[in-house]
Amino acid sequence: MKKVVEIYNDEPRCGTFLIAEGFGRRHNKVLELIRKHEEQFLDAESFTPRRAKLLERKVKTAGRPVIEFLLNKEQTTFLGMLFRTSADPEDPVLKFKAKLAKDFILQEKIINAIYAGRITKEWIENRAAGKIARREETDTIKDFVEYATMQGSKNAQLYYSNLSRAVNSNMFNFSGKFRNVREVLTANQLIDVKFADKVVSRALIEGMAQSLPYREIYSLVRDRLVSLADMYGKSDVISEQLFIEEEAQ
């Protein structure tokens, strides 16, 4: 059975679309049940400001995309208690509930491993060094944005986020969504991303010095990041965090 719990903004969450499927319910009926007991679900919401609204997103389906709620462990548990289920040990719903519990425990274990990794001296030093490299890269990107704008780019400001995504997508495989990607990297991965930031800065500086068109410079950056990834390989952010915790046990 596929994973049903994911990390979303640093917290284990389960989407109501998969919950409905696992409990053998129609998704619209599950949403109606949640809205009926919305006060209790808002009380269990852990995001700030609390009780503002339930976390939701669009999910792709075979038909039209639908809106689903992303529930935390407390909310998912409460929802499961609202369902009537069979006591038959062969009931697939019971198997799904067991899978749901195991997945929440696994994702919590991963989150704990990430936090544990942040308190080591090596991680703190590498994070500090990475912030310096990141500031230098940001200053270079600022120059590149002005350079691209002067050449006629209408959306040059997007290069701040596009270049960050290029580094992340070429260097790492992510499982989950995080508020700050660099806060969940291991000490070794922080070294990798610092080096990647320097590669980006160097390519931008060289391209602008040669008066290349801004699109060619961006392609040069991506090519160098691809070459870097080919040399060192992409690392799995979450699996490495879990490995660290298992080694410490």
Phi/psi of residue 9, nearest 5 degrees:
50, 50
Per-residue confidence (pLDDT) for residue 201, from 0 to 100: 93
Q: Higher model confidence: residue 219 or residue 53?
A: 219
* Tokens of residue 204, six digits: 């931008």
User: Is the model's pLDDT at 98 over the cut of 80?
Assistant: yes
CA distance 72 to 65: 22
Per-residue confidence (pLDDT) for residue 49, from 0 to 100: 54
CA distance 205 to 199: 10
Per-residue confidence (pLDDT) for residue 202, from 0 to 100: 93
Phi/psi of residue 12, nearest 5 degrees:
-65, 130
* Tokens of residue 72, six digits: 């935390």
User: Per-residue confidence at 239, pLDDT binned at 50, 70, 90?
Assistant: low
Looking up tokens 């929802």, which residue turns up? 79
User: Is the model's pLDDT at 90 over the cut of 70?
Assistant: yes
**What would the mean pLDDT of 175-192 be, rounded to a whole number?**
83
User: Is the model's pLDDT at 182 over the cut of 70?
Assistant: yes
User: Is the model's pLDDT at 19 over the cut of 80?
Assistant: yes
Q: Which of 26-40, 84-98, 180-194 has the lowest mean pLDDT?
A: 84-98
Q: What average pLDDT does the structure give for the chain? A: 84
* Domain ranges, ordered by start, for the chain: 6-115, 120-248
**What would the mean pLDDT of 3-23 be, rounded to a whole number?**
87
Instruction: Say which DSSP state 231 is in.
Output: H
User: Is the model's pLDDT at 245 over the cut of 50?
Assistant: no
**What would the mean pLDDT of 102-113 be, rounded to a whole number?**
83
**What would the mean pLDDT of 32-48 be, rounded to a whole number?**
84
Looking up tokens 């590669």, which residue turns up? 199
Per-residue confidence (pLDDT) for residue 36, from 0 to 100: 92
